Amino acid sequence: MWLRSIVTFVFVSFFGPASADADTILVWGDSLSAGYGLRPGEAWPNLLQTRLAEKGFPHRVVNASVSGETSAGGRTRLPAALAEHTPRVLVLELGANDGLRGLRPQLMDDNLTAMIAAAQAAGSKVLLVGMRMPPNYGPAYTRRFQATYTDVATRTGVPLVPFLFEGFADQADKFQSDGIHPRADAQIIMLDTIWPHLTPLLD
């Protein structure tokens, strides 16, 4: 069973050889992007910076994800982060903790929509990363939760990664002992899921 992470910390990192004036990719997520339970350098945003360099992209990755973050918390913090980092691209990976708390999907919809609008107003492109709830939350809630990401992406016109855990969600050996957070060997799968949706935004 998935449980909500009770650890709250900020993991902000500047990786790799990108120059100080390179365009910034701001990863705005929860523990699934913050690298909870992993060693430094193992989380998928770290792997993203390495891949960008290998592929000749000059972008700098800033991972400002917070374990335990909800869409409401992310919405509150985002304006200051946009002003500080002026990202070219915002990777928005929030909502899982809303679902695990059983919050109304409409609230998540409102918060995601507001964050996308704020990022676009600041000149950022946005990639929305979707999640799903486990079946024990009931079919009606899980369907509505999943549909929220599609609805927001369609309405705002931003690209969507439908499911961050695509390809391994049913593989227990890809998760840490809490059954929530992916292990280090799953991080590359997550990056491979995000990569084709992200690269069109890197002009």
- Active site residue: 31, 33, 71, 124, which one? 31
Q: Quick check: is 31 catalytic?
A: yes
pLDDT in tens, 136-160: 999 999 999 999 999 999 999 999 9
Percent of the chain with pLDDT over 70: 90
Token pair of 75, please? 């919405």
Measured CA distances, 126 to 116, 134, 161, 199, 202 (Å):
7, 26, 11, 12, 11
Q: Is 178 a catalytic residue?
A: yes
Query: In sequence order, what DSSP letters do the residues of 97-111 get, joined into one string?
Result: HHHHTT--HHHHHHH
Domains of the chain: 10-201 (3.40.50.1110)
pLDDT score at 203? 81
- Separation of alpha carbons 26 and 32, rounded Å: 15
- Identify the DSSP state of 95: -
The residue count of the chain comes to: 203
pLDDT higher than threshold 50 for residue 180? yes
